Amino acid sequence: MGMENDDPIEVRVGTFFVVMGMGVFLLFVVSDVADKVEFDYFFLAVILVGVGYYFRRKKAPPPPANRFSWFKGALGKMRAGWGKGKGGGESKDKKG
């Protein structure tokens, strides 16, 4: 019916804290723009984002997408070809 989310509850709680921390940080920015700076919002945002990151770090990294594998292969071939150049990379200005 809805979106299937296989993340454990700790990761979901971490995401919640990170989003709430960003919202509180936005309140801090708005208070700064209004020339009534409330640093309590800033410190609360740092704490919320820190706690959220602590919970979210348990999330497994996503599988590699291999979107640029052709580019990496072409770059590797170019680098291999550079070593076969004239004189093996020695400069012509060498005196000795």
At 4-57, the pLDDT tens digits run 667 788 888 999 999 999 999 999 999 999 999 889 999 999 999 999 999 988
At position 73, the amino acid (one-letter code) is: G
CB 54 within 8 A of CB 15: no
17 lies in some domain: yes
Q: Which residues contact 13 (CB under 8 A, 6 or more apart)?
A: 52, 55
Q: Which of the four pLDDT bands, split at 50, 70 and 90, describes residue 74?
A: confident
31 lies in some domain: yes
Q: 92 or 57: whose pLDDT is higher?
A: 57
96 lies in some domain: no
CB 56 within 8 A of CB 86: no
| Best CA proximity match to 14, nearest among 63, 50, 60 | 50
* pLDDT at site 72: 73
Q: How many domains does the chain have?
A: 1
Q: Is the pTM of the predicted complex or chain greater than 0.75?
A: no
